[in-house]
Structure 1
Amino acid sequence: MIFTEHLETFHGLPVFTLPETGEEPLPAAGDVAWRLDCFTAGDVPFPEVWQSFRERVNSADVRALVIGPWWEDEYIELGPVLELLLADAEDFPALRALFLADVVGEECEISWLELADVTPVLERFPLLEELGVRGGALLSLRPVRHESLRALRFESGGLPGQVVRAVGACELPALERLELWLGVAAYGGDATVADLAPILAGGAFPALRHLGLQDSELQDEIATAVASAPVVAQLESLSLSMGTLTDAGAEALLNGQPLTGLRRLDLHHHFVGEAMADRLRAALGPAGTEVDLSGRQVPRQWRDEEWRYVAVSE
Structure 2
Amino acid sequence: MSIGDHMKEFGGLPAFAFPEPEKKKKDGKKKDGKKKGDEKAGKKNLPAARSVAWRLGVSSWDSKETWEECFARFLDAVDTTQVEALIVGQWTESYDNGPESVIEALIAAKDRLPALRSLFLADIVMEENEISWIKQGRITPLLETFAELEEFGVRGGQDLEFPPTRHERLRKLTFESGGLPAEAVRGIGASDFPELTHLDLWLGTSEYGGDAVVEDLAPILTGTRLPKLTHLALRNSEIQDEIATALSAAPVVARLESLDVSMGVLSDDGAAALLTGQPLSHLKSLDMHHNYLTDAMRERVRAALEPAGVALSLDADDAEQDDEEDGTVWRFVAVGE
| TM-score for the superposition, normalised by structure 2 | 0.90
Q: Distance in 2 between matches of 1:206 and 1:74?
A: 37
Match status 1:63 vs 2:84: yes
Number of corresponding residues: 314
- The change in CA–CA distance for 1:73 and 1:300 in structure 2 (over 3 A counts) is closer
Hey, what does 2:135 align to over in structure 1?
114
Gaps in structure 1 of 5+ consecutive residues:
none
Q: Distance in 2 between matches of 1:42 and 1:33?
A: 22
Hey, what does 1:299 align to over in structure 2?
321
Cα shift at 1:43: 3.5
8 Å CA contact 1:137, 1:188 repeated in 2: yes
Hey, what does 1:34 align to over in structure 2?
54
Identify which of 142, 160, 168 aligns with 1:147.
168
Q: Distance in 2 between matches of 1:48 and 1:18?
A: 12
- The change in CA–CA distance for 1:90 and 1:285 in structure 2 (over 3 A counts) is same
Q: Distance in 2 between matches of 1:6 and 1:180?
A: 19
Q: Distance in 2 between matches of 1:8 and 1:18?
A: 14
SS in 2 for 1:34: strand
8 Å CA contact 2:238, 2:265 repeated in 1: yes
Match status 1:238 vs 2:259: yes
Hey, what does 2:286 align to over in structure 1?
265
Cα shift at 1:19: 0.6
Identify which of 177, 189, 192 aligns with 2:198.
177
Structure ID, larger Rg: 2
Cα shift at 1:5: 0.7
Hey, what does 2:6 align to over in structure 1?
6
Shifted more, 291-300 versus 249-258: the winner is 291-300
Cα shift at 1:51: 1.1
Superposition misfits of 4+ residues, deviation over 4 angstroms:
72-75
Q: Distance in 1 between matches of 2:239 and 2:100?
A: 31
Identify which of 217, 223, 227 aligns with 2:244.
223
Cα shift at 1:138: 1.3
8 Å CA contact 1:43, 1:72 repeated in 2: no
Hey, what does 1:312 align to over in structure 2?
335
8 Å CA contact 2:94, 2:129 repeated in 1: no
Q: Distance in 2 between matches of 1:265 and 1:146?
A: 28
Q: Per-residue CA shift, 1:264-313, capped at 9, x if unaligned? A: 00000000100011000000000000111012534212453111110011
8 Å CA contact 1:43, 1:73 repeated in 2: no
Cα RMSD (Å)? 1.6
Shifted more, 84-93 versus 297-306: the winner is 297-306
Q: Per-residue CA shift, 1:215-258, capped at 9, x if unaligned? A: 11000000000000010011000000000100100110111001
Q: Distance in 2 between matches of 1:83 and 1:44?
A: 17
Identity of aligned residues (%): 51
- The change in CA–CA distance for 1:74 and 1:186 in structure 2 (over 3 A counts) is closer
Hey, what does 2:229 align to over in structure 1?
208
Q: Distance in 1 between matches of 2:320 and 2:334?
A: 12
8 Å CA contact 1:45, 1:72 repeated in 2: no
Hey, what does 1:289 align to over in structure 2?
310
Q: Distance in 1 between matches of 2:137 and 2:107?
A: 13
Q: Per-residue CA shift, 1:148-201, capped at 9, x if unaligned? A: 000000000000111111111111010000000000001000111000011000
Q: Distance in 1 between matches of 2:214 and 2:95?
A: 37
Q: Distance in 2 between matches of 1:74 and 1:142?
A: 22
Shifted more, 268-277 versus 51-60: the winner is 51-60
